[in-house]
Copies of this chain bind each other. A is one copy, B any other.
C-alpha cells in the first residue's frame, strides 16, 4: 500500500504542477516547468510498473474491503501498463508534442493538409498501442478503456447510435424561431466585476467554501482535485456572455465529485471519480440540469439582477431561462447548446472509430466531417477551422475520450430520472436556493464510492440498469416542449 500511496502522491503532485502551469506560472518558465512535469510523470509511471509492485500485488492479502478493491484495481492497471513498451509511450508523447504544435499552426492558417501527416502519426501509434492487446474485441477497446474502464466499443457504439437516432429528429424539428432564437446575450455588456460577484454567490450556494476550494481564471476552464480537501476550479470572463457562470457550475460538478470521495480512499488509486464519463455526468448535471432549470433561475434571478443590473433588471426568470435554453444548429462543439451538443460529439466518435479501424484515411477526414455535420445537424461546414480543426484533442493523441462527453450526458439523464423519483421537490428546493439535498444524494449514491466500483457496476447500483439514452432524450424532449410553451 505504501508504494501505491507514493504513486498516488506523485500523480497528485503532477496535477498540481499542471494547475500551476495554467494559473500561476510566469509565462517565460514553460520549458523549465515541462521538465518538472516530465520528471514527476515519469517517476509516477516507473514507480508503478516496477517488478516489485507486481510482486507486492501478487502477494497482497487485503485486510478489508477497501484494500481488496485497491488491489483489484491496481492489478488491472498494472497488467495494462506493463503491456505497453516504454519506447511506445515515449514515442506517443513526442509525436503528440509535435502534432500539438502543427495543429496550432494549422488552426491559425485554417488549413488541414499540413496537419494531416502529424495526425496520421498519432493514429498509427494508437493502432500500435491497440496491437499490444491482441485479445481485444475491437482495436478501439484498449483506447476507450483508458477513460472508461471495462467499457467495450460495442457498448459505446450501441448507446451512442440510439442517442444519435433520437437527437437527429429532435434537432431537425427545432422550429425556425427556436433555432434563430432570442439574442442569447445581446449587446448589453456584462461587466466582469458583476460576473465575478454572481459566480461567487452561486458557487457559495452550491456548496463551495474557502477552506477546501479555490476559483481562478484560466484560458480554458478546468478543474483539479489536487486532493479531496483541495479542489481548484477555473473559469473565464467574456464581456458579452455568461460563460463564466455556466463553466463555473460545470467545473463545480467535477470538483464536488472529487471532494465527496470517501476519505478512506485518500492516497489510494481509488480516490478519484469512476471514469471520464462519470465525471462528465456530474459537470453536465450541475451546468445544465441545475443551471438551466426553472427552479435555479427563480432563485438566482434576484442575485443576477443585483450583480448585473444592466442585463438582468428588466427580465423575468422565464425570460432568462428561455434565453439560456435556446437551441441552435451550429458548427462549434464547445459553444453548442444542450440539445445539439451530443451530435457534435457523435460526429467525432464515429470518425475516430473509423480512423482507428483503418476504414477512413486521414486525408479524407475533412470531407467525412462535413458530410456528417450536414446529415446530423443540417449545417454546412465552411472551412477547416470551423470544422475538423476546431478541437485540440486528436493533436494530443486523445482517442477514446470524445465519446465520454456524450456518455456522460446519457448517465446524467439516467441519474436525473432516478433523482426525480427519490427527491420529488428538487425544483422547489433550487427555487429556495437549497442545493444540499442534491449534493448529498450525489455524495451518497455516487461520489463516496470513488473508483471502488467499475463504471458499469456503479451505474447498475445507482439506476438499476445498463447505459440507456432514453431518459436523457426524454429530458431533452420535455425541455423543448416547455420551451415551445414559453415561446407561445
Q: Does A17 contact B (CB under 8 A)?
A: yes
Interface residue from B13, B16, B24, B29 paired with A227 (Cβ < 8 Å): B29
Cα A227 to Cα B35 in complex, Å, equals 10
What residues of B have a CB within 8 angstroms of the CB of A12 in the complex?
36
What residues of B have a CB within 8 angstroms of the CB of A33 in the complex?
226-227, 230
B13/A40 in contact, CB under 8 A: yes
Q: Does A168 contact B (CB under 8 A)?
A: no
Cα A78 to Cα B160 in complex, Å, equals 58
Counting contact residues on chain A (CB < 8 A from B), the size range is: 35 or more
- Among A96-104, A211-219, A379-387, A444-452, the stretch that binds chain B is A211-219
A26/B212 in contact, CB under 8 A: yes
Q: Does A64 contact B (CB under 8 A)?
A: no
Contact with B along A1-14 (1 / 0, CB 8 A): 00001100110110
What residues of B have a CB within 8 angstroms of the CB of A229 in the complex?
26, 28-29, 31-32
Shortest beta-carbon distance from A29 to chain B in Å: 4
Contact with B along A253-281 (1 / 0, CB 8 A): 00000000000001100000000000000
Cα A114 to Cα B10 in complex, Å, equals 38
What residues of B have a CB within 8 angstroms of the CB of A230 in the complex?
25-26, 28-29, 32-33
Q: Does A474 contact B (CB under 8 A)?
A: no
Q: Which of A23-71 contact B (CB under 8 A)?
A: 24-29, 31-33, 35-36, 39-40, 43
What residues of B have a CB within 8 angstroms of the CB of A26 in the complex?
210-214, 229-231
Contact with B along A224-246 (1 / 0, CB 8 A): 00111111000000000000000
B27/A24 in contact, CB under 8 A: no
Shortest beta-carbon distance from A233 to chain B in Å: 11
Cα A231 to Cα B28 in complex, Å, equals 10
A10/B27 in contact, CB under 8 A: no
Also in contact, A9 and B211, with CB within 8 A (given A16-B17, A227-B32, A229-B32):
no
A6/B211 in contact, CB under 8 A: no
Cα A266 to Cα B31 in complex, Å, equals 12
Shortest beta-carbon distance from A147 to chain B in Å: 25
Interface residue from B9, B24, B267 paired with A214 (Cβ < 8 Å): B24
B29/A9 in contact, CB under 8 A: no
Cα A228 to Cα B36 in complex, Å, equals 13
What residues of B have a CB within 8 angstroms of the CB of A27 in the complex?
210-211
Q: Does A20 contact B (CB under 8 A)?
A: yes
What residues of B have a CB within 8 angstroms of the CB of A25 in the complex?
230
Cα A359 to Cα B214 in complex, Å, equals 51
Determine the residue in chain B with the shortest Cβ distance to A211.
B28
Q: Which of A295-325 contact B (CB under 8 A)?
A: none
What residues of B have a CB within 8 angstroms of the CB of A35 in the complex?
5, 9, 267
Cα A272 to Cα B488 in complex, Å, equals 70
Q: Which of A318-340 contact B (CB under 8 A)?
A: none
What residues of B have a CB within 8 angstroms of the CB of A40 in the complex?
9-10, 13
Cα A394 to Cα B214 in complex, Å, equals 34
A36/B13 in contact, CB under 8 A: yes
What residues of B have a CB within 8 angstroms of the CB of A214 in the complex?
24, 26
Interface residue from B9, B36, B226 paired with A39 (Cβ < 8 Å): B9
Also in contact, A212 and B13, with CB within 8 A (given A35-B267, A39-B6, A43-B6):
no
Among A6, A10, A16, A29: residue with most chain B CB under 10 A? A29
What residues of B have a CB within 8 angstroms of the CB of A28 in the complex?
211-212, 229-230
9 A-B pairs (CB sep. < 8 Å): A9-B35, A13-B13, A13-B40, A16-B16, A26-B214, A26-B231, A28-B229, A32-B229, A35-B267
A-B CB proximity, top 10 nearest: A29-B230, A28-B211, A32-B227, A9-B39, A29-B229, A28-B212, A28-B229, A26-B212, A32-B229, A9-B36
Additional A-B contact list (20), CB under 8 Å, known A6-B43, A28-B212: A5-B35, A5-B39, A9-B35, A9-B39, A10-B40, A13-B13, A20-B20, A25-B230, A26-B211, A26-B212, A26-B213, A26-B214, A26-B230, A28-B229, A29-B229, A32-B226, A32-B229, A32-B230, A32-B266, A33-B227
